Structure 1
Amino acid sequence: MNVRRSAAALAAVAALGTAAAPAALADGASPSPSGALPSGLYGKTDPKFDGVFRQSYALLAQDATGVTPATKAVDWLTGQQCGSGGFAAYRADTDVACDSKAQVDSNSTAAAVQALAALGGEKKAVDKGVAWLKSVQNQDGGWGYTPGLPSDANSTGIVIGALAATGEKPAAVTSQKGKSPYDALTKLALDCGKDGGAFGLADAKTGKLAPNADATAAGVLGGLGKGLVVTAPKKEAAAPKCAEADSAEQAAANGTGYLVDALGKSGHLTSSLPGSTDKPDVGNTADAVVALAAAGRGEQAKKSAEWLAGNSADWAKQGGPAAYAQLVFAAHAAGLDPRDFGGADLVKQLNATGPAPRAQASDEEKDKDDDGSGMSVWWIVGVGLAAGAGIGFLLSGRKKNQL
């Protein structure tokens, strides 16, 4: 994939037995495509696992920075939608109707719904996407990566974002058993004493939940009813106190505390693959910044965003559009300028990965947005992104590893 494939998606791929996928996802970047890519698509790597997700992230980040995406970029995304309303990760031939082989998933669908809702003018596609998401809700109130899989925090978080983006009240979207997405999130929250209040990701072999930073960022956003585009808090919230997660709000507070502790003095998260040494986890750190800002923890969010500004250039270049979008979301949430992020213009770099946008906001409009009176960043979840997920929900190909 590219740079933000959620932990939930990785677990789902393993559960589905897709032999070729894990290697591509674990590398943090998709292999080169075998044929020419559509002119409306962002990114140059193989879109098989993340085409819709990275496109959605790119369009959403453009919208959040006052950029009007190219018409053909939006048309490419809407053209990926199946007749059911759901989106698969990528459809090479959209002239062929979706069948049982098209692995339509909640993360791609929720990301596309959020992007199209923000852009406006695509009500039919948005409504169909929301209807499909509602139709595959699990009985516990949450969502798994694909229909039939157990609920996870990444997928549930990013779907909450899609619902909120379209004016739905997530608490009112219930299963046949009367459970809402918030009910599902409380069941995915872990113990304060043993696991620090994190949200858990199920181990692919045992199914047991274990603390996971990506799932926690998505769970925090979902529990707060927020999405990937959040504004920097004007007032610093009090340090959260971990307690029994008897509500989504408390679970989000617990998760916020976990992220603050995990970021520590360094300001960044770490990750490791089996047999390798720990190293900074840029993608999960970006997600954590957004979650912390949504929770009102602006000081830690800014500290971590400043670390990103000085340490993310190579990662973003490798990851492509989804990576640049994640950094745009983090910069926006921390109150930093995405057009001068450690000396890099993230917006320009993102735009260069696909078709030229139709228009950009004027300097005056950008200044208005900086002081909170300009652009409408509606948002929304969770995840959250992903992964993402995140790929929570979160999906564009980043390494997703448990802390």
Structure 2
Amino acid sequence: MTTARRRAAVLAASAVLAAAVVPAAAPAASAATSPPPSPPAAVTPSGLYGTTDPAYDGVWRQSLALLAQDTVGVRPAGKAVDWLTGQQCDSGAYPSYRADMSGPCDPKLPLDSNATAAAVQALVALGGQDTAVKKSVAWLKSVQNADGGWGYNPGGASDANSTSVVIGALAAAGEKPDAMVSKGGKSPYDALLTFARPCGGKDGGAFVFQPQQPGVVADSTAAAVIGAHGKGLVVTAGAKDPGGAVCKPATTARGAAHNGGAYLATALAKTGHLNAPPMPGATDTTVKPDVGNTADAVVALSAQGLTEQAEKSLGWLEQHAAAWAKESGPAAYAQLIFAAHATGTDPKDFGGTDLVAALNATGPAPQLTVTDTAREKQRDEKKDDTGVGVWWIVGAFFAASVGAGILLSGRRKSRP
């Protein structure tokens, strides 16, 4: 989900939730109509990735950036991790962003299931954050809807994107999403099935955002395909799907995931990319390539085992995504790194762009880069190579025994 779409989703979800809240509603379901104002970009916290206004995507983009770094072997800066954990509310939930981390969260601050789920996935990957993860998982469980799914904000109607990203968080934390049964007796996979379109007709095989609010179907479909496999934002290619790009009647989430993959493969087949309809209220109504959702679709196709169908889109991304990522910021670079990882592509040479270096440059310098990690590994291997150590000792002893001690000493002194 790109920043622009996330901003629209936050506003839409908050507005819908605010309209639905009544005085007797539980405190967890209350929300303001929009997130509180954030500081201008000039005073954006130093631990945060990106320099644009974080009001709508601060936690989201930070989580994706840290998760992408971990995926490629980069150890993030400590203050970047501290910034993310500092955004957590006492309940374990995360808002989209809060400017003041000096005290408890404002009770009127809207809580964000997507941001919380993304943060869980990042913190699990980084390790050492068990307490924060457990609190967030407990909160996510507590706001599961009766239909088995999750809404953008607690109390909001379930949607495919939120349900899917929460499934990924639960799986990352060691939970079993299929056993996460709601008070209504439904699992998250039951909820996903309600968003799946039947084969044939408009958007056949796709997952809609909500039954009464289709939204950007490619976005919700990519998310749901991954969620149906119990995967998170980072995936590796699944076993080859023998069904190919043919939609078939489905009664399970996995079956619907196949159909979702078939929908995406068909949508991408002609040009290799998806198109983005104009944002509501936009003055430019031109249909343009949707880079972010194309990247997410590549990840989804890989998870589904439709890697051959993803190749054309991967090639298109390598040729066209660099400028979009540079303009869009850290979450965009993360999306491309996830696509590279899912397809076994080198993220340091993605169509000539080093995605890892570009992502690192959007925030605080990491503790270790990929190169540093490789060098550290080489040093460790040398230390552990006892055979080489023994032969150096034997050689030195032999040299000394034949009177070459002076020569050996001289060589040692001449080494840099």
With normalisation by structure 1, the TM-score equals 0.82
Are the equivalent residues in 2 in contact too, given 1:58–1:321 (CA < 8 A)? yes
1:225-254 Cα offsets, whole Å, 9 max, x none, are: 112111235756441542333111011111
Distance of 1:245 and 1:70 partners within structure 2: 45
Distance of 1:239 and 1:351 partners within structure 2: 37
The partner residue of 1:178 within 182, 185, 189 is: 185
Residues paired across the two proteins, number: 356
- Structure 2 counterpart SS, 1:39: coil
The aligned counterpart of 2:395 is none
The partner residue of 2:292 within 272, 279, 283 is: 283
Distance of 1:56 and 1:317 partners within structure 2: 18
The partner residue of 1:313 within 322, 331, 342 is: 322
1:298-345 Cα offsets, whole Å, 9 max, x none, are: 112222111111001221111100000001001111221110011000
Q: Does 1:244 align with 2:252?
A: no
1:106-152 Cα offsets, whole Å, 9 max, x none, are: 00000000000011000000000100000000000000000111110
The aligned counterpart of 2:74 is 67
**CA pair 94-32 structure 1, distance change in 2 beyond 3 A:** closer
Q: Which amino acid aligns with 1:157?
A: S
The aligned counterpart of 2:354 is 345
The aligned counterpart of 2:6 is 5
Are the equivalent residues in 2 in contact too, given 1:110–1:158 (CA < 8 A)? yes
The aligned counterpart of 2:99 is 92
- Structure 2 counterpart SS, 1:289: helix
With normalisation by structure 2, the TM-score equals 0.80
- Structure 1 counterpart SS, 2:347: coil
**CA pair 292-341 structure 1, distance change in 2 beyond 3 A:** same
The aligned counterpart of 2:237 is 232
The partner residue of 2:132 within 117, 122, 125 is: 125
- Structure 2 counterpart SS, 1:312: helix
1:363 positional shift: 8.5
Q: Which amino acid aligns with 2:369?
A: Q
Distance of 2:373 and 2:64 partners within structure 1: 25
Distance of 1:264 and 1:123 partners within structure 2: 43
The partner residue of 1:221 within 222, 226, 237 is: 226
The aligned counterpart of 2:270 is 265
Distance of 1:235 and 1:202 partners within structure 2: 29
Distance of 2:116 and 2:34 partners within structure 1: 23
Q: Does 1:358 align with 2:367?
A: yes
The partner residue of 1:202 within 210, 216, 227 is: 210
Distance of 2:102 and 2:53 partners within structure 1: 20
1:277 positional shift: 2.4
- Structure 1 counterpart SS, 2:265: helix
- Structure 2 counterpart SS, 1:200: coil
Stretch of structure 1 that moved more, 287-296 or 170-179: 170-179
Q: Does 1:304 align with 2:313?
A: yes
Are the equivalent residues in 2 in contact too, given 1:189–1:245 (CA < 8 A)? no
Q: Structure 1, unaligned stretches of length 5 or more?
A: 22-29, 369-403
Are the equivalent residues in 1 in contact too, given 2:14–2:34 (CA < 8 A)? no
1:20 positional shift: 7.4
**CA pair 201-234 structure 1, distance change in 2 beyond 3 A:** closer
Distance of 2:56 and 2:163 partners within structure 1: 19
Are the equivalent residues in 2 in contact too, given 1:7–1:201 (CA < 8 A)? no
- Structure 2 counterpart SS, 1:280: strand
RMSD over equivalenced CA pairs, Å = 2.5
Distance of 1:6 and 1:20 partners within structure 2: 10
**CA pair 20-78 structure 1, distance change in 2 beyond 3 A:** closer
Are the equivalent residues in 1 in contact too, given 2:10–2:34 (CA < 8 A)? no
Q: Which amino acid aligns with 1:251?
A: A
- Structure 1 counterpart SS, 2:152: coil
The aligned counterpart of 2:151 is 144
The aligned counterpart of 1:293 is 302
- Give the helix-richer structure, 1 or 2: 2
Distance of 2:5 and 2:204 partners within structure 1: 25
- Structure 2 counterpart SS, 1:151: coil
The aligned counterpart of 2:27 is none
Q: Which amino acid aligns with 1:224?
A: H
The aligned counterpart of 2:24 is none
The aligned counterpart of 2:22 is none
The partner residue of 2:335 within 313, 326, 331 is: 326
Are the equivalent residues in 1 in contact too, given 2:7–2:57 (CA < 8 A)? no
Distance of 1:324 and 1:32 partners within structure 2: 24
Distance of 1:363 and 1:232 partners within structure 2: 28
Distance of 1:60 and 1:13 partners within structure 2: 26
**CA pair 307-31 structure 1, distance change in 2 beyond 3 A:** farther
- Structure 2 counterpart SS, 1:359: coil
Q: Which has the larger radius of gyration?
A: 2
Q: Which amino acid aligns with 2:76?
A: P
Are the equivalent residues in 2 in contact too, given 1:66–1:361 (CA < 8 A)? yes
**CA pair 235-212 structure 1, distance change in 2 beyond 3 A:** closer
- Structure 1 counterpart SS, 2:200: helix
Distance of 2:323 and 2:97 partners within structure 1: 26
The aligned counterpart of 1:48 is 55
The aligned counterpart of 2:261 is 256
**CA pair 325-208 structure 1, distance change in 2 beyond 3 A:** closer
Distance of 2:142 and 2:130 partners within structure 1: 18
Q: What percentage of residue pairs aligned between the two structures are identical?
A: 61
Are the equivalent residues in 1 in contact too, given 2:207–2:217 (CA < 8 A)? yes
